Amino acid sequence: MVFYGLRKFARELGLEIQSGVAYGIYERYAVSMWEGNGYKAFNISAKFEDDLCKKMEMELMELEANYRRVAYIRFIEGVLEARFVDNPGTMKQFRNCFFNVLSVLDEYEIPDADICPKCGLPMYGQGVWSLFKLYGRKSCLYTHEHCAAAMEREVNRQIEWDRQHPMSKEEFIESMMEIHGDESLEELELALLFWLPHMNF
Ligand SMILES: [Zn+2]
């Protein structure tokens, strides 16, 4: 959904609002914003290279610390997502943080929105926006039409696989520990905090 405060901000940026998501190209970035049960979020999709993400992550973590309402600012599956706990006053932090994140990105050589985040080739203005939903999480991407179709097949395969291989809560936590085992306990906690509400155990 996109309610009043977020809607107003999205309009200021010149974003379109459709299917409960605001999206568009702002400056040179493909951005989208939405809100849900108790949170607001924005994401930026671009062709982010892994080593660049690692470098930016340190700066983004410092940013997180400046905003009490920020739950996290992270690269998830190659998309930069910032999520905020929704309370009175969140919108102000959301705005400020959005511009701060863009100025961090500006310091690095991020390909502009016309470069497809999936295949890395230019789209010559022919990109399409698509909304993916996996584990109840929305992700809005600006890509080639055929790249979006390939991603949709991938997502559907994943959903089908999950349906056929149901996991208990314990198994899920165990698998998260495997994924985040070499990182800090804090990372694991953050990951669980993020994923657990979206799982159907
Ligand atoms: Zn592509």
- Number of domains the chain is built from: 1
Ligand 1 centroid from CA 46, angstroms: 11
- Give the DSSP per-residue string, 7-57: HHHHHHHT-EEETTEEEEEETTEEEEEEEETTEEEEEEE----HHHHHHHH
- Residue with the bigger pLDDT between 33 and 187: it is 33
Tell me the mean pLDDT in the region 125-131. Answer: 92
Ligand 1 centroid from CA 144, angstroms: 4
Phi, psi torsion values for 77, nearest 5 degrees? 50, 40
d(CA 53, CA 98): 17
- Residue with the bigger pLDDT between 148 and 133: it is 148
pLDDT in tens, 66-90: 999 998 999 887 889 999 999 988 9
Do the domain assignments include residue 170? no
Threshold 0.85, pTM exceeds? no
Contact predicate 104/166, CB 8 Å: no
Do the domain assignments include residue 153? no
Do the domain assignments include residue 161? no
Q: What is the largest CA-CA distance in the chain?
A: 47
Tell me the mean pLDDT in the region 81-103. Answer: 94
Nearest 5 degrees, angle CA 108-CA 187-CA 142? 45
What integer pLDDT is reported at residue 161 of this predicted model? 85
Do the domain assignments include residue 197? no
pLDDT in tens, 29-66: 999 999 988 899 999 999 999 899 989 999 999 999 99
Contact predicate 44/29, CB 8 Å: yes
Ligand 1 centroid from CA 158, angstroms: 20
Do the domain assignments include residue 30? yes
**Range(s) of the domain holding residue 111:** 4-144
Do the domain assignments include residue 158? no
pLDDT in tens, 156-186: 888 888 888 887 888 888 888 877 766 677 7
Ligand 1 centroid from CA 11, angstroms: 27
Ligand 1 centroid from CA 18, angstroms: 23
Residue 129, domain CATH:
3.30.1460.10
Do the domain assignments include residue 40? yes
Contact predicate 124/137, CB 8 Å: no
Do the domain assignments include residue 173? no
d(CA 193, CA 92): 24
